[in-house]
Structure 1
Amino acid sequence: MELDIKKRYYKLASLEECEDSGFSVSEGEIRTVYTIGDDYGLHKSSFSFDMIVKDEVKVGLRLFETRMQGIGLWFTFKSGVILVDNPSSGLLVEIKHSFDLTNKRRIAFLENLSEVALMVDDALVCVVKTGKDKLAILDGCEKVLAKVKNESIPLSGHAKITVRDGDVSNIEYEHYEVKQIFKEVKNRKMDYSTWIATDDLGRVTPDNSIVGDPRKEKYVGLFYFMCHVHAMGEKVRDHTKIYLEQGLEALKEFLPKSHGGYWAEPYFGYYLSYDEWIYFKHAFMLEAAGVDFIFLDYSNYRAYPDATKVLLDTWLKIRKMGFNTPKIVPMCGDMPAILVVDLYTLWDTLFTKPEYDELLFKWEGKPLILGNNDDPRGDRWTVSDTTPQSREQFYEIISKDKNILEFFESGLFHECLSKLTVRKCWAWQASKYEEDKNFAGYWDWLDWSPQAPGRNFDGEIEQISVKMGTHAHTSTGRSYLGKKDYGTGLGDFDFTLGTAKYGLCFEEQFRNAMKVNPKVLMITGWNEWYAGCIKLPGRDDLVVGHTSTPGYYLVDQFNPEFSRDGEPMKIRDGVGFGDNYYYQMVNYIREFKGINKMPVASGQKTIDLNGGLSEWEDVGPVYADFVNDTVFRRHLSWGGAYMYINNTGRNDMDYAKVSQDDENIYFLVTTANPLVFADENNWMNLFLDIDMNHDTSWEGYDFIINRRRDKNTVSVERFLNNSWDFEEVGRAEYKLYERELVLKVAKKTLGIEGKKISFDFKWADNSTTTGNVMEFMDLGDAAPDSRFNFRYVVE
């Protein structure tokens, strides 16, 4: 991925660009149309103006929305004092000054990416340092005046000036227009057989020797949620964060007054379902896992057309780049009216759009839709007792919109439905088939163990559900294995249970599914995260997570134990489990579907570092990575609480090769973009796991290469004490080309003598500097992605 950057200067008088800089504002507000610097915090810049103060002038910086209150950095100029504050953290510092602000002064804010410096007539007044986690205010002599945790100030933003009895004029600032240019590849076939990962529990993704060859007609679906659409005005409520930061009693006091919350923080933050960056990440993660389709939760009479369009367009963009993505299946609940309401929207926004056809998962030759197609005029009415709906209620609901009523009564609904393959879908329905054959055609998304198989309308087995957890209000979580009285017995919502990380329920359900071994496996779930809190005054008998919750309960999600998402969570230790469930899912999908045999190294020879790419033509295999996975991120969070910015994508790895002779190992890595050089510790690092043993050294890696470099060589460092500590053990030769980096590492430096060896390796650029292996997911680029390594095998 390459960058197209255009630098522009702006002189503004109001909300619109103004070419005449001779304006003067004595009362009112001025806002910048564009961000100071750029949208991603890549470029240093400045924001300056002339100012006279009689009462006060307030300047807000790093604002992701100029109309919102309580965000950003604020500087309030008054006679004798400047107030510096960050409303969201409560940080407030008073800096005394001796400037006569009743005379014109030139004010300049110097945006230096990780800090903002305030200058008055070229005199440094203060510096605000805005690190990833820390926010600090220093005076002009670099004395720290205050510091707090930074949770809300983004890397870049807009500016706003509020003038109360004063004068502001001659505003100038710089803005860079940054456009990422994507590389297209021609239908690259990714070979995941060489992708091996080990999670925090030491579980290793199986290869072909364990799971066998790919099996035909095996498909995996994953429950996916589009409901994160509350863009403004909502405060993030995180049950796990409240518990960890304020304690159990504070959580119990909070819940009865809440209308819902997150069970924990997702690794990618409290994102919105409009965030394109999220769909890039999810596409590559789920494709690498082997997910064939996601079934989108439209079971609450909402098809989320705007959010769904972002998902569809993003995944279509990825496909046009030459990569695959999972396909799409709408899941419209078990109330027949929901199917009518949803299909009314989906027919025009999804099913009749020819550009989206390749994204539709087809079954029996037609796009699949999950929903209850019972007709209130017919004899069969198989509605779940957990989502009851009478025939009268059906008509009452569809009659609320005359267009939807006409859609149904005109026969158009049934005409549209005839062009789709329908399967009913809800929890605990497939098992009813044994007693009542009217329940043919159900594919459950959740069931108790052992799960009943899903069938077509002729009663033939097609599918089975696999869950990671059940429900909070039934106290059946990730550790549930059939006994509902499991748990700590401490009335602490089982926060201290300590077994959520193991995926015990997930394991049991998958083993049951493999005994049936149908064509389709549907996993619950991926990214629900949020659950509403339902109030039932007078019901003092209610229980959530083995804990009394008089008068209220939460249904689907609550905390790490009582939840069922597989998407990685932020917390990795203690009550958290990081990315464990993602890799557990990868392991099960490989076991269900099989995987190709791992290719053996070929064309091994001595490489001339000065010979260019032609030296590598006969060397195999090619270890391919996703390209265009270094896309920048700038998007509001759920509720508009944060602005998420990620600008770490720098060198977009394309593919790698390895060769060896008796004395050396040679490494090639290529990039989609011309290599961007940075003399930093995390520039184009190579990680080696020589013994292929995750229990040794840092996350299994024995060596890290190229943390330091000179004109001809790079450092070879050994990890110490299974930690993110190193010692240099030697140097390796390197050669840099426009899009290629070649290394020559002596075997004796790695403690290897003579023999041809197999090992695991990984390339990473601009990624972790802290030793958090999960940062391979979102910082810079890694080849292969996330925790995966390439496994290099010799005969």
Structure 2
Amino acid sequence: MNRIQFRLLLLLCFFQTCIQISAQNSNPEYMLWNLTATDALGRRFEPASGEQKEKKYVGLFYSLWLGQHKTQQHDVYDIQKLLNSNPGALYDTAGTPESPLKEFHFWGEPLYGYYSMSDPWIVTRHVELLCNTGIDYLCIDATNRVVYTESIENLFTILLRFMEQGFKIPKIVFYTNSLSGATVDDLYNQFYTSGKYEKLWFKPAGKPMIIGITENNNKASDMTKYNQFTDYIKEDVKKYFDVRESQWPNGDYNPAAIPWMSWQYPQWNHNGTVAVPVAQHSHTVIDASAMHPESSRGYNNATKQVEKDWTAGASFQTMWDAVLRRKDSVNNVLVTSFNEWMAIKYANAHGRKHVFFVDVFNHEFSRDIEMMKGGYGDNFYLQLIRNVRAFKLSAGKPYRYANKTINIHTATEQTWADVEATYTDVAGDALCRNFSNATGTGIYTDSSNRNDITEIKVAHDYKNVYFRIRTVADITAHNGKDVNWMNILIADGDTSRSFAGYHYIINRHPGSNGTTSIEQSAGGYRWKKSGVAKYTVRGNIMQVAIPLAAIGIKSTCHFEFKVSDNVTNYDDIMDYYITGDSAPLGRLNFNYQ
């Protein structure tokens, strides 16, 4: 079986495991608004109650190039690891086997490994993560003329699958720059003319938005300011699109352009559109590896100083703060970026007489939001969500749920039909992984997908809280030893004396008599007995009745939770983004009040 056949088989498996959740039992907006999280630095975001009256958009710069440049990437070269263990190889201007010239290097290791964007497992995880952010569109990087057809089709197929299940997906915009006219022609012919992906286009003004260069660019792009440029978007193609001009940080200000980067603070406002980069280029030299202060993730744009803990993202936050201070004049924010991850190693070029990397360099001098191994972890992902909510959404209001007593031994579908607190999770995200890395030098495998959680309903009375958990297929029988089988983790927003904010865990030790364990954290992933819950499993439905007193609830029934199954490293919160299935992913929680 060749690689393309194998990829198609994986996608087919994904489609076959997905089910269409009925409208009656699905409320993705309720799920999105009731997400909460506390990051590793103790910063929280709370539930929301819906979008603000004035429509606002947030886009995210998104890269498709990982795994698509194997002729320029013969192995995995990690700049941060080389800096730590072999800086001589990294800075060798002739290149070495450990760090060759003119080859792509990763600035660090993504949480999901040095992955390929052709991997359906990766893109499924990405789309789920991105749906949970509340962003409106992905701005796909097509600035270097390359159209990554395989990656695009992989992404579009999975976006459509999420959309079919009722999830609010980010729509699609392409950002072109070099040879903009030719690039737009290729994109138009490959992806727009057939109508296959019509539902995916971002259309704030009625037509699919695309960013590129026309005769009206007015030197906003580096292409038109510093070059003799004639490859404009053609007139007949322009009629189909809502065309916005490409804006470079060192170009002339064009109010009709869309910027992806800002060297100004506060940022330029382009008729309501503002750039919010995680970090910036140096303002004076070409390379991020120069490690100028303004290129640090920890650079405070207000004080012009680098803060001690760069993992807190002072540059990103102060850029957002500038937007939030003038929110009335901003209706569109473009964030850079989610998953760039790579830069080419150069030496003795562009007037530089040493080794340099242009756009990104190492953990601190890079600009990705996607979670990483070590370093900043998931800080920037959760920081994005917190600020998107501050920009777009209204503060949450407590829901008023009527008390409802449920006998889990006799309850039917009809018993739960009027329960409003319904949280959905995509069907098909618990997917096996078996795909090459970005360089084709290794295979990533993961077969921890076991029970694919799709829906959770919650109700309570004066004594108990009740959970009803639905999976795609029949829930596997407990094997008598696993402590990670169909767990419910309970949090209250206070991260002290807890496992990543979770104070209680249910069902680490299920019994054969229909009872199961309730345990309280003794600090970290150490647990002590707190009580006993009752549970039933019938087919693909699990029901659990938990005494409120056993999870510390005395009056108002308010808590946060997640349901997880078969997380491999269950004592590491970052693994809840990776293995098994978690609803919701990672450090995110559902709020019940």
- State if a TM-score over 0.5 links the two structures: yes
3-state SS, counterpart of residue 197 of structure 1: strand
Please name the residue that 1:714 is paired with.
Answer: 516
CA distance in 2, matches of 1:179, 1:384: 41
Q: CA deviation at 1:389?
A: 5.1
**Equivalent-residue separation in structure 1 for 2:176 and 2:382 (angstroms):** 28
Change (3 A) 1:445 1:751: closer
Pairing 1:368–2:209 present: yes
- 1:776 Cα deviation (Å)? 1.2
2:143 and 2:175 in contact (8 A); partners too: yes
CA distance in 2, matches of 1:255, 1:361: 45
Partner of 1:565: 368
- Provide the secondary structure at the position in 1 that maps to 2:456: strand
Q: Deviations over 1:686-733 (max 9, x none)?
A: 1112x431223111111111111222211122211x211122233222
Do 1:453 and 1:516's aligned partners in 2 also have CA atoms closer than 8 Å?
no
**What corresponds to 2:493 in structure 1?**
692
1:224 lines up with 2:62 in the alignment: yes
Write the mapping of 1:614-693 to structure 2, written as runs, cut at 5 A: 614-679=414-479, 680-689=482-491, 691-693=492-494
Task: Tell me, in whole angstroms, the C-alpha distance in 1 between the residues paired with 2:454 and 2:520.
Answer: 26
Does 1:313 find its partner at 2:114?
no
Distance 1:569 1:220, change over 3 A: same
The one-letter amino acid of 2:261's match is L
Provide the C-alpha distance between the structure 2 equivalents of 1:566 and 1:413, rounded to a whole number of angstroms: 34
Identical residues among aligned pairs (%): 28
Name the SS for the 2:199 alignment partner.
Answer: helix
Name the residue aligned to 1:109.
none
Kindly state the Cα deviation for residue 520 of structure 1 after the two structures are TM-superposed.
0.5
Q: Distance in 2 between matches of 1:452 and 1:717?
A: 49
Give deviations 1:209-228, integer Å, cap 9, x for gaps: 8xx85343201110011112
Q: 1:482 to 1:592 in 2, by over 3 A?
A: closer
The correspondence for 1:181, drawn from 10, 14, 17, is 17
Aligned residue runs from structure 1 range 748-787, under 5 A: 748-753=549-554, 755-787=555-587
CA contact (8 A) 2:221 2:246 kept: no
Q: Which residue of 1 aligns with 2:181?
A: 340
Match of residue 445 from structure 1 = 260
Partner of 1:553: 356
Which residue is equivalent to 2:528? 727
Distance 1:696 1:353 in 2: 56
Unmatched 5+ stretches in structure 1: 1-14, 17-33, 41-176, 399-407, 434-438, 456-460, 488-496, 543-549
- 1:325 aligns to what? 169
Structure 1, residues 730-767: CA drift from partner, whole Å, max 9, x if none? 322211111221122233433455x3431112111111
Contact 1:601 1:621 in 2 (8 A): no
1:189 positional shift: 3.7
Counterpart for residue 477 of structure 1: 296
What's the TM-score, normalizing by structure 1? 0.66
Check 1:313–1:750 CA distance in 2 against 1; reply closer, same or farther (3 A cut): closer
Whole-angstrom CA distance in 1 between matches of 2:388 and 2:148: 29
Equivalent residue number for residue 46 of structure 1: none
Number of matched residues? Answer: 561
Contact 2:360 2:366 in 1 (8 A): yes
Q: Does structure 2 retain, via aligned residues, the 8 Å contact 1:734–1:744?
A: yes
Q: Distance in 1 between matches of 2:573 and 2:436?
A: 26
1:21-100 aligned at under 5 Å gives the runs none
Q: Report deviation, 1:581.
A: 0.2
Q: C-alpha separation between the residues in 2 aligned to 1:255 and 1:477?
A: 28
The 8 Å contact of residues 93 and 355 in structure 2, kept in 1 or not, is answered as no
| Residue identity opposite 2:156 in structure 1 | L
CA contact (8 A) 1:600 1:621 kept: no
Q: Does 1:418 align with 2:239?
A: yes
Q: Structure 1 residues 675, 254: CA separation in 2 closer, same or farther (over 3 Å shift)?
A: farther
RMSD between aligned alpha carbons? 2.9
- d(CA) in 1 for partners of 2:148 and 2:431? 24
Given residue 609 of structure 1, which amino acid in structure 2 is its aligned partner? I
1:686 aligns to what SS in structure 2? strand
**Alpha-carbon offset, residue 429 of structure 1:** 5.7
CA distance in 1, matches of 2:579, 2:93: 35
CA–CA distance in 2 between the matches of 1:601 and 1:696?
Answer: 30
Partner of 1:512: 322
| Structure 1 residues 592 and 538: CA distance shift in structure 2, 3 A | closer
Q: Deviations over 1:484-526 (max 9, x none)?
A: 9956xxxxxxxxx862211100011011122332111000010
Question: CA shift at 1:768, angstroms?
Answer: 4.2
Of the structure 1 ranges 665-674 and 698-707, higher mean CA displacement relative to structure 2 is found in 665-674
Would the alpha carbon gap of residues 498 and 256 (structure 1) be closer, same or farther in structure 2, given more than 3 Å must change? Answer: farther
Cα pair 1:256 1:552 within 8 Å, conserved:
no
Residues 339 and 585 from structure 1, CA distance in 2 versus in 1: closer, same or farther, beyond 3 angstroms? same
| Distance in 1 (alpha carbons) for counterparts of 2:440 and 2:54 | 45
**SS of alignment partner, residue 443 of structure 1:** strand
Q: Which residue of 2 aligns with 1:105?
A: none
CA distance in 2, matches of 1:625, 1:670: 10
Please report how far the alpha carbon of residue 368 of structure 1 lies from its aligned counterpart in structure 2 after TM superposition.
0.8
Q: Secondary structure at the match of 1:626?
A: coil
How far apart in 1 are the matches of 2:349 and 2:238? 42
Distance in 2 (alpha carbons) for counterparts of 1:608 and 1:383: 66
Partners in 1 of 2:304 and 2:56 — Cα distance?
36
Q: Which has the larger radius of gyration?
A: 1
Local SS of the residue matching 1:513: helix
1:521 maps to 2:333? yes
- Residue 242 to residue 215, structure 1, CA distance change in 2 (3 Å): farther
Distance, in Å, in 2 between the alignment partners of 1:538 and 1:601 is 63
1:370–1:706: structure 2 CA closer, same or farther, 3 Å change rule? Answer: same
CA distance in 2, matches of 1:728, 1:470: 50
Deviation at 1:424, TM superposition (A): 1.3
1:545-571: CA deviations, max 9, x gaps?
xxxxx5232111111111000011111
Task: Report the equivalent of 1:77.
Answer: none
Q: Which amino acid aligns with 1:644?
A: Y
SS at match of 1:559: coil
The yes-or-no answer on 1:465 pairing with 2:301 is no
- Shift of the 384–656 alpha-carbon distance from structure 1 to 2, 3 Å rule, reads closer
Look up the match of 2:392.
593
TM-score normalised by L of structure 2: 0.87
- State which of 184, 205, 208 in structure 1 corresponds to 2:48: 208
Q: Secondary structure in 2 aligned to 1:556?
A: coil
Report if aligned partners of 2:220, 2:246 keep a CA contact under 8 Å in 1: no
Asked whether 1:742 is paired with 2:552, we answer: no
What is the Cα deviation at residue 683 of structure 1?
A: 0.5
Structure 1 residues 19-45: Cα deviation after superposition (integer angstroms, max 9, x where no partner) = xxxxxxxxxxxxxxx99xxx99xxxxx
Per-residue deviation at 1:203?
Answer: 0.8
CA distance in structure 2 between the partners assigned to 1:678 and 1:447 by the alignment: 53
Instruction: Find the aligned partners of 1:419 and 1:318 in 2 and give their Cα distance.
Output: 26
Pick the structure with more helix per residue. 2
Give ranges in structure 2 of 5+ residues lacking alignment.
282-287
- Conserved 8 A contact 1:215-1:593: no
Cα separation, partners in 2 of 1:184 and 1:599, compared to 1, 3 Å: farther
Q: How far apart, CA to CA, are the structure 1 residues paired with 2:333 and 2:350? A: 41
Aligned residues of 2:265 and 2:301 also touching (Cα < 8 A): no
How much does 1:671 deviate? 1.7
Q: Which amino acid aligns with 1:520?
A: N
Shift of 1:672: 2.6
Q: Which residue identity is paired with 1:470?
A: Q
Deviations 1:624-672 (A, max 9, x none): 2222221222211111122112222221212222333333332222223
